[in-house]
Structure 1
């Protein structure tokens, strides 16, 4: 059963996130196993609420069905933490990593709260609203990942959360048009008004030039979070630092490419080539090595969005296998 779970998780990340799958290979075996298990659960929860399969459209759920699906996910998560037998592979995988690595339950439920924002069709009026969504769907994943890698302490966890937020800001910029096709928008409504774009027209070709300015603005907003996250590398084991630094480089490059393409950024899905990934992997290795000799970084900029609570930090323990 254990190996079957690992195989399930490996296939899930290979299909669901090619960008992160490449970086995940760099983790030490036990850490990689836990990372894959966590990813499988995150992907499963996202798919269940969206009526998708591995991130690809299947049968979209109506509002009532999505709310019921979310309630089931919350109940299953509680049972997983209670140690009950899990029939669903993604939840069996999550139970293994959550209990072994002592991932704070609050982190898991904060993540599910991000899916609730989708189910409730939350509106994002300001950048702070968008950042709050980014925290729930990605920043808190950074907190869980840091726990798996043995990192602890609020300051280090803040940096891990910053990286998740940066990743999600990049994803939002890349996927604006795809999200619009399923009637979702995570861009600040204030920004759209300033750019003269009606939300209902986000996917229209006539708006691409204006949309490019909004996307560039979002990519720029991700930069200080990427910079802050770099300061957390020193707290990670070397192989983990290499994997995270590589993921950092790959996702940041996607944002750079979105900005560089301008109005053509949504003609096809922006990604990184195999050659580029290899180059970024090498640069990530250099970043990880440099972190071994870096002096303690400056304090986290006060202007950055602060995650809502650190209370769960006291209940998250470093991974036993790290």
Structure 2
């Protein structure tokens, strides 16, 4: 791997750690509980990865012109390249990635994949994709994050990449199924074209699709694909270090809870699914100590 820009002067490093920790803490994400159980250096590295992911995702989700959003994503690409060319990046959150990249030998292509995945949501965005496009989207916005994460968890093996790739798809498809109505409100439709057509839904208008009488059957079929990825991830995880994969196990448990709630509702897209904080803590405790 090429050298990475050093930004580890003590005062600067402390400030960067504080920056990413606060970014993660105020996100309210389920991932926070999975990350908290990790040893300090690994936890700080994961905070930096998560802060990066939230930052590029927020660029897309916040109001603004498409050209400006793509410009800002381009700045992130430039900063990722700078890190791997031993140059100091411009963005503070990019600088926070320097130490994790060095410590855990993180590949540049996975960072770039995350940015590319976010860019897929600019402009018209992802609307009624074919299955290969949906697979690519899931790989970029979810699996790439998993591939970075398992290198930080410890005891990195090829099977841990199988966990990352299958769990990433399972979690992202669960997000898609949970957020059909919320996504429709902002003009997005991630349900694949072939499943929509199979159930007689021909519209490309997200709100029309979300309200279609056959929508639950489409979600059921996509849910079966997600179920397969959950099973593959669980099988791969059994071949990995149980201690190292605890954060992945926590996320698996939390998302299985969402998945099972969707299934119990017969796959009808919900207006909202809320996982109580106590449930998140229970998942973290269960997989952190047993």
Length-normalised TM-score, structure 1:
0.77
- How much does 1:181 deviate? 1.7
How far off its partner does 1:33 sit? 0.8
8 A Cα contact 2:181 2:269, kept in partner: no
Q: Structure 1 residue 134 and structure 2 residue 138: aligned?
A: yes
Secondary structure of the structure 2 residue equivalent to 1:183: coil
Query: Helix, strand or coil: the match of 2:187?
Result: coil
1:213-268 deviation line (CA, Å, top 9, x unaligned): 22232222112212222222553461x32222111100121122123234764322
Q: Does 1:65 align with 2:68?
A: yes
The answer to whether 1:257 aligns with 2:238 is no
Q: Tell me if 1:186 matches 2:197.
A: no
Q: Which runs of 5+ in 2 are unaligned?
A: 1-11
Equivalent residue of 1:119, what SS? coil
Runs of 4+ deviating beyond 6 Å: none
Once residues 147 and 167 of structure 1 are traced to their aligned partners in structure 2, the CA distance between those partners, rounded to angstroms, is 19
SS at match of 1:267: coil
The residue number in structure 2 matching 1:110 is 113
Are positions 1:80 and 2:83 aligned together? yes
Cα distance in 1 for partners of 2:196, 2:190 equals 11
> By how many angstroms is 1:278 displaced?
3.5
CA RMSD of aligned residues (A): 2.5
Q: Distance in 2 between matches of 1:159 and 1:263?
A: 25
Report the counterpart of residue 122 of structure 2 in structure 1: 119
2:93 aligned to which of 76, 90, 93: 90
Q: Are the structure 2 counterparts of residues 82 and 176 from structure 1 closer, same or farther at C-alpha, using a change threshold of 3 Å?
A: same
221 and 14 in structure 1: CA distance in 2 versus 1, 3 angstrom threshold: farther
Q: Distance in 2 between matches of 1:78 and 1:72?
A: 10
Give the structure 2 partner of residue 168 of structure 1: 172
Q: Deviations over 1:195-226 (max 9, x none)?
A: 3332315367743x532322232222112212
Offset at residue 36 of structure 1 (A) = 0.6
Moved more, 159-168 or 277-286: 277-286
| Alignment TM-score, normalising by the size of structure 2 | 0.84
Q: CA deviation at 1:124?
A: 5.0
Return 157-166 or 27-36, whichever deviates more.
Answer: 157-166
Call closer, same or farther: CA 1:149–1:175 in 2, change over 3 Å: same
Superposition map of 1:4-23 within 5 A: 4-23=15-34
The 8 Å contact of residues 195 and 221 in structure 2, kept in 1 or not, is answered as: no
Alpha-carbon separation, structure 2, partners of 1:170 and 1:205: 16
**Cα deviation digits, residues 246-299 of structure 1 (max 9, x gap):** 11100121122123234764322x13113322443344347xx5xxxxxxxxxx
Tell me if structure 1 keeps the 8 A contact 2:80–2:89. no
> In the alignment, is the contact (CA less than 8 A) between 2:187 and 2:206 conserved in 1?
no
Mapped pair 1:221 → 2:232: no
- In structure 1, runs of 5+ residues without a counterpart are 53-58, 290-322
CA contact (8 A) 1:81 1:99 kept: no
- Residues 237 and 101 of structure 1: CA distance in aligned 2, closer, same or farther (over 3 Å): farther
Contact 2:127 2:188 in 1 (8 A): no
Provide the rounded CA distance (Å) in 1 between the counterparts of 2:211 and 2:129. Answer: 23
Contact between 2:184 and 2:210, CA under 8 Å: does it hold in 1? no
Q: How many residues matched?
A: 276
